[in-house]
Amino acid sequence: MASNDQIDLFSIADVATATAVDPSLIPTSAKVPIPVGTYSSMAEIKVHCNQCHRCELGATRTHAVIGRGHANASIMLVGEGPGQTEDETGLPFVGKSGQLLDKIMASVGLTEADVFICNIVKCRPPENRNPSIAEADACMGYLLEQIRLVDPKIILLTGAIAMRSLLGIKQGITKVRGEWVEKEGRLYMPIFHPAYLLRNQSREKGSPKWLMWQDIQSVKEKLDEIQN
């Protein structure tokens, strides 16, 4: 992504306000809730997350990874947590999975103007392990604030962890992917995680890649329907 694109998300005015946020508001324990309405911009969330120690992931991060894409996108895509490249750059889905994700979105004409991309946990789990339920819970307040600020119509959940954390669905992703779930006025769809597609290269009918192609087309159709 060109560095200028970040202006969308963290405008210069936003960053100036965010650095003025009262440091005593920065939660240091997962037991302290993050009230709805705490943040007025992604830049404020970024400042807090980079100082956050609500869970142990804060001890090993290089950068908290907040999001990329359009700050008022119609579609939000939620992954699991940052990997190494994301931890180094502070941007979500910029490694191999992210490159595939961008291609999948581009295949139906979706760009960063249509999508805001973020994760369940903002800091990298060591060795790229899955985030624990406690870590996902500790970080949930930030994600709920991101959803409130972006106000997307559609939320795509990549992989079982995102699906479980936001919808409470414990079934395997293979069973539920591609189905629309309505919750609190938004449409959610669980989809495969791009890392899973990288491990399953077949494009045959019924393969994970083929199923993802069906799902992303449904997403585009739904978006067109909502917008027209």
Q: In angstroms, what is the minimal distance from the CB of 187 to ligand URA?
A: 21
Count the neighbouring beta carbons within 10 Å of the beta carbon of residue 152.
Answer: 23
Q: Is the dihedral of CA 67, 136, 151, 27 positive or negative?
A: negative
83 is a site residue for ligand URA (CB under 6 A): yes
146 is a site residue for ligand URA (CB under 6 A): no
Stretch that binds ligand URA, among 23-31, 77-85, 182-190, 215-223 (CB under 6 A): 77-85
80 is a site residue for ligand URA (CB under 6 A): yes
| Closest of 10, 25, 36 to residue 141, by C-alpha | 36
What backbone torsions phi and psi does residue 181 show, to the nearest 5 degrees?
Answer: -125, 125
141 is a site residue for ligand URA (CB under 6 A): no
Helix axes 133-150, 42-49, angle to 10 degrees: 160
- Number of residues counted as binding ligand URA (CB under 6 A): 12
Q: For ligand URA, which is the closer residue by CB, 54 or 124? A: 124
Q: In angstroms, what is the minimal distance from the CB of 196 to ligand URA?
A: 11
Residues 6+ apart with CB under 8 A from 145: 34, 36, 38, 39, 45
Q: For ligand URA, which is the closer residue by CB, 154 or 191? A: 191
- Exactly one of 38, 74, 119, 165 binds ligand URA (CB under 6 A); which one? 119
Pairwise CA distance, residues 116 & 147, whole Å = 10
Pairwise CA distance, residues 195 & 133, whole Å = 20
- Contact of 74 with 153, CB cutoff 8 Å: yes
92 is a site residue for ligand URA (CB under 6 A): yes
- Exactly one of 58, 67, 69, 82 binds ligand URA (CB under 6 A); which one? 82
- Exactly one of 58, 69, 79, 208 binds ligand URA (CB under 6 A); which one? 79
Binding-site ranges for ligand URA (CB under 6 A): 79-83, 86, 92-93, 95, 97-98, 119
